[in-house]
Chain A
């Protein structure tokens, strides 16, 4: 969102960077640029998010989801799951006996082991911040004692990290049981175990932690920054939000839910401009596109979805598609296709002919490349953030959108990094059904059997500015 430039004492001439189309002061041949200039500068000091809570309270679920969201909006974030460190350190995991507070031997190993694992994780956190330019680290562990949290805070203070605690509190036995079933049984800890046995073992594991659990204290800990999540989001207590990134994290956490639902993503039906191999524009559906719209309507009916919301962009082709589905739909301008600026309605051949350098730059870094007087995928992600936020709040939704837009949304749900995002396959006339399960998202791809042109252009082998036109146009899909 925001890009920081240091002002220059003499009024330097400005030059526009060719890829990002950002105006920066020209300082000889080395452009004066902050590292990763398109990375939004939300925070100056790195932020350490510390999870707190008994086992099976959704800490890892929250950690993974939050990490995915922050990375998608452009804040480099990494998760550090202490359980994983523990699993590597203690190869043999016998059973809950290992966790019993009166098993002294195990206690010592555990305590030392826990400390060692936490310390190892914190070391990796430090490395992530200093050597890998990370901005946020999510420290995923129970962190149920004040002692443990104090250790983390002193490390953070020493290194200059901001700390934000996320505590998940839940006593509803049904939710906990469901949690255990969904994610614990797949865990390496229980791989060769009988389900009932594993469940009993895990419940006992939780009991072991309960004895020493000290939740964040609203009085003693009033100087700390934290959010307490009660009963999977019925209630929240938020204390001392320090900065922009913490405010965004709180807003995100308050909008997610765990109610089962599905999100359907689809492009508009094939359009007139699609047939001609032209990008952008605001054309209507081709005859095959109309057929797809009808097929989509039938498909949706067949799915028997409760309370389906349908969203489109402001462009004719998505609205025409929604019209066929026959239910009420809402138009979002934010869902409009990427603005190709001066290249709107051109074919790739014409772009190569008129703007060969632009075409090459785009192939070099398709995510960050901004069309002249247009947008980049990176801009698109920022534009789509409110859509993602609302998708998190909603339940069953069908989003009828466009190729670049769908790639961005898909990348969010499937945790695809920036360099893969612009090459995700989102063909016409195919519905993707996304259903959250465990820590991720199940994808079902349904091609509705109506032919359509291919609009997917792979990255060509040669992305050099001085390449031949044939090399540039090698991967252009067929069209009229």
Chain B
């Protein structure tokens, strides 16, 4: 028997994100997924596997940073850290000897404590992905984790790093182990020796993920820092994205240069958006940028711009081939395109206030939000990961998004990151993070950075709204 379908619900457009949603009695009804795709139904537990100095923590941190940036709440749990908190002072590799019963007990307790926190994060704190960073080199240990996950309804995905290249391992130790709290009072040679012995403690009992024995598990095995991958039983969208990401990252030293276009005509007038050309000072910057790039003597530099005139004009001065990406275009301010902040306040005071309340999620009417921008920029990040030396000439909001990815900034901080005109940011990956050098090319330009004002209420006075607007013509 066909039921008469219920009356379609009325729709209302959420004022901040401009999302249409059903409402009842004047209030919006809760809707589960208002953005792209529901990535995960149940939370995912990513489990690293591998001997020490195989890049597990590097991968964990990078993956966590990426997932958070694309909007998937992720947190890493490093068992080594739990161990350091428990055993205040690290004496030597002897702690890790397989016959050290007390050591084993402590390590197991630390693993359990970490898993407990994982459970709390995924069930109580709304986390979607947890990265459990430890050696997990025996089948027995992995089985415990699988059972834990099953009990709690988490999906498990293993990420194993296998590497036998002594140069890579040595470099690893130098870059991240020597600086570890475990070795603060140790000279380099002793530290390296101790660490090598530590690795040996794990080697005998190491059971690598096997395509036959572990055929029912979901995993990726990364061999020799990305030369080869074995991927088994990818279950869902998020695992597929994780695999794609892991297959695109590399550790070859390189630098990424981020800068905005030179000062534009609209910048000087205090107007946002548009597609104007460079001012004389903007052209001066372009020239200085060319000199700067040449002095840096970068091997095989790729140059990317948006498809807006001002970034292209800037790139033209460099006299090198460049690629135009439409996705690098500045945030679309919709009905506010080419307006001054004063005009936005006059014509759309409500919108202006909403933007100050939640600048990351706020979407301009018929335009975009920072959140939309991040989604748009994801292929750029993926390609930046694949590439080596790149100069990206882009725009204020775009640069903030890219910078937030590299520097692991939260959604709240992102829209307020300082990205001034005529300044180049040189990003160089180092250890687990990114070194930033800010280089001003000494060409004057207007300030386009508007801080969040104190009063973000819809009912505020115009002056309060316009307090933080930077000076312009």
Quote the shortest CB–CB distance from B160 to chain A (angstroms). Answer: 14
Q: Contact check, A393 vs B240: say whether CB atoms are below 8 A apart.
A: yes
**Chain B interface residue number, banded:** 35 or more
Q: Contact check, A323 vs B9: say whether CB atoms are below 8 A apart.
A: yes
11 A-B Cβ contacts within 8 A? A2-B323, A3-B325, A4-B322, A11-B283, A21-B307, A23-B307, A290-B8, A301-B2, A330-B33, A333-B35, A393-B240
Q: Which residue of A lies closest to B319 (CB)?
A: A7
B446 at the interface (CB under 8 A from A): no
Q: Contact check, B322 vs A5: say whether CB atoms are below 8 A apart.
A: yes
Interface residues in B298-336 by Cβ distance below 8 A to A read: 303-304, 307-309, 312-313, 315-327
B248 at the interface (CB under 8 A from A): yes
A12-B316 contact given A235-B211, A241-B247, A330-B38, CB 8 Å threshold: yes
A332 at the interface (CB under 8 A from B): yes
A56 at the interface (CB under 8 A from B): no
Of A2, A222, A333, which is within 8 A of B372 by CB? A333
Chain A 252-269 per-residue mask, 1 if CB under 8 angstroms from chain B, else 0: 001100000000000000
Quote the shortest CB–CB distance from B177 to chain A (angstroms). Answer: 29
Q: Which residue of B lies closest to A316 (CB)?
A: B20
Of B2, B321, B327, which is within 8 A of A7 by CB? B321
Beyond the given pairs A23-B312, A320-B8, 4 more chain A to chain B contacts, judged by CB atoms under 8 angstroms and listed by A's residue number, are: A6-B321, A235-B231, A254-B231, A393-B237
A240 at the interface (CB under 8 A from B): yes
Q: Which residue of A lies closest to B230 (CB)?
A: A237
Quote the shortest CB–CB distance from A279 to chain B (angstroms). Answer: 14
Quote the shortest CB–CB distance from A307 to chain B (angstroms). Answer: 12
A238 at the interface (CB under 8 A from B): yes
Quote the shortest CB–CB distance from B395 to chain A (angstroms). Answer: 14
Stretch at the interface among A105-113, A291-299, A351-359, A438-446: A291-299
Q: Contact check, B229 vs A8: say whether CB atoms are below 8 A apart.
A: no
Quote the shortest CB–CB distance from A99 to chain B (angstroms). Answer: 31
Alpha-carbon distance A255/B9, docked complex (angstroms): 35
Q: Contact check, B379 vs A332: say whether CB atoms are below 8 A apart.
A: no
Alpha-carbon distance A284/B315, docked complex (angstroms): 44
Stretch at the interface among A142-150, A173-181, A243-251, A416-424: A243-251
Q: Contact check, A5 vs B228: say whether CB atoms are below 8 A apart.
A: no
A14-B309 contact given A8-B319, A330-B37, CB 8 Å threshold: yes
Q: Contact check, B323 vs A316: say whether CB atoms are below 8 A apart.
A: no
Quote the shortest CB–CB distance from B198 to chain A (angstroms). Answer: 30
Residue of B19, B32, B234 with highest tally of chain A CB at under 10 A? B234
Of A4, A247, A320, A331, which is within 8 A of B386 by CB? A247
A473 at the interface (CB under 8 A from B): no
Q: Contact check, B319 vs A9: say whether CB atoms are below 8 A apart.
A: yes
A298-B5 contact given A16-B309, A250-B247, CB 8 Å threshold: yes
Q: Contact check, B313 vs A331: say whether CB atoms are below 8 A apart.
A: no
B375 at the interface (CB under 8 A from A): yes
Q: Which residue of A lies closest to B5 (CB)?
A: A297
Q: Contact check, A7 vs B237: say whether CB atoms are below 8 A apart.
A: no
A36 at the interface (CB under 8 A from B): no
**Which residues of A pack against B, CB within 8 Å?**
1-9, 11-12, 14, 16, 21-23, 25, 41, 218, 222, 234-241, 244, 247, 250-251, 254-255, 282, 284, 290, 293-294, 297-298, 301, 314-316, 319-320, 323-324, 326, 328, 330-334, 344, 373, 379, 382, 390, 393
Q: Inside 8 A of B318's CB, which chain A residues have their CB?
A: 7
Interface residues in B128-184 by Cβ distance below 8 A to A read: none
Q: Inside 8 A of B231's CB, which chain A residues have their CB?
A: 235-238, 254
Of B244, B315, B323, B337, which is within 8 A of A3 by CB? B323
Alpha-carbon distance A415/B322, docked complex (angstroms): 32
Q: Contact check, A333 vs B375: say whether CB atoms are below 8 A apart.
A: yes
Alpha-carbon distance A434/B368, docked complex (angstroms): 33
Quote the shortest CB–CB distance from A223 to chain B (angstroms). Answer: 10
Chain B 351-395 per-residue mask, 1 if CB under 8 angstroms from chain A, else 0: 000000000000000100000100100010001001000000000
Interface of A is mostly: mixed
Q: Inside 8 A of B6's CB, which chain A residues have their CB?
A: 326
B13 at the interface (CB under 8 A from A): yes
Interface residues in B213-235 by Cβ distance below 8 A to A read: 215, 227-234
Of A250, A324, A330, which is within 8 A of B8 by CB? A324
Q: Which residue of B lies closest to A281 (CB)?
A: B366
Q: Contact check, B316 vs A11: say whether CB atoms are below 8 A apart.
A: yes
Of B5, B9, B230, which is within 8 A of A236 by CB? B230
Alpha-carbon distance A293/B7, docked complex (angstroms): 11
Q: Contact check, A332 vs B37: say whether CB atoms are below 8 A apart.
A: yes
B81 at the interface (CB under 8 A from A): no
8 nearest CB pairs, A to B: A2-B323, A238-B229, A236-B231, A3-B324, A323-B8, A7-B319, A23-B312, A319-B20
A4-B323 contact given A16-B309, A330-B33, A334-B36, CB 8 Å threshold: yes
B50 at the interface (CB under 8 A from A): no
Q: Contact check, B8 vs A7: say whether CB atoms are below 8 A apart.
A: no
Q: Inside 8 A of B227's CB, which chain A residues have their CB?
A: 222, 239-240
B34 at the interface (CB under 8 A from A): yes
Q: Contact check, A254 vs B234: say whether CB atoms are below 8 A apart.
A: yes
Q: Inside 8 A of B366's CB, which chain A residues have their CB?
A: 282, 344
Q: Contact check, B32 vs A328: say whether CB atoms are below 8 A apart.
A: yes
A235-B233 contact given A2-B304, A22-B307, A331-B33, CB 8 Å threshold: yes
Q: Contact check, A7 vs B33: say whether CB atoms are below 8 A apart.
A: no
Alpha-carbon distance A7/B248, docked complex (angstroms): 28
Alpha-carbon distance A330/B9, docked complex (angstroms): 16
Q: Inside 8 A of B43's CB, which chain A residues have their CB?
A: none
Quote the shortest CB–CB distance from B75 to chain A (angstroms). Answer: 25
Q: Contact check, B228 vs A240: say whether CB atoms are below 8 A apart.
A: yes
Q: Inside 8 A of A11's CB, which chain B residues have their CB?
A: 283, 286, 313, 316-317
Alpha-carbon distance A255/B239, docked complex (angstroms): 11
Q: Inside 8 A of B322's CB, which chain A residues have their CB?
A: 4-5, 7
Alpha-carbon distance A282/B367, docked complex (angstroms): 13
B277 at the interface (CB under 8 A from A): yes
Q: Inside 8 A of A244's CB, which chain B residues have their CB?
A: 383, 386
Alpha-carbon distance A402/B386, docked complex (angstroms): 34
Q: Inside 8 A of A7's CB, which chain B residues have their CB?
A: 303, 315-316, 318-322
Q: Inside 8 A of A247's CB, which chain B residues have their CB?
A: 247-248, 386
Q: Inside 8 A of B5's CB, which chain A residues have their CB?
A: 294, 297-298, 324, 326
A5-B32 contact given A238-B229, A244-B383, CB 8 Å threshold: no
Q: Contact check, A314 vs B19: say whether CB atoms are below 8 A apart.
A: yes
Q: Which residue of B lies closest to A334 (CB)?
A: B36
Of A4, A234, A238, A255, which is within 8 A of B228 by CB? A238
Q: Contact check, A316 vs B228: say whether CB atoms are below 8 A apart.
A: no
A255-B316 contact given A16-B309, A235-B211, A238-B231, CB 8 Å threshold: no
Alpha-carbon distance A316/B11, docked complex (angstroms): 8
B243 at the interface (CB under 8 A from A): yes
A323-B22 contact given A8-B316, A238-B229, A334-B36, CB 8 Å threshold: yes
Quote the shortest CB–CB distance from A43 to chain B (angstroms). Answer: 13
Q: Which residue of A lies closest to B315 (CB)?
A: A7
Alpha-carbon distance A314/B20, docked complex (angstroms): 7
Q: Contact check, A234 vs B325: say whether CB atoms are below 8 A apart.
A: no
Q: Inside 8 A of B307's CB, which chain A residues have their CB?
A: 3, 21-23
Alpha-carbon distance A155/B434, docked complex (angstroms): 43
Of B240, B327, B383, which is within 8 A of A254 by CB? B240
Q: Which residue of A lies closest to B365 (CB)?
A: A282
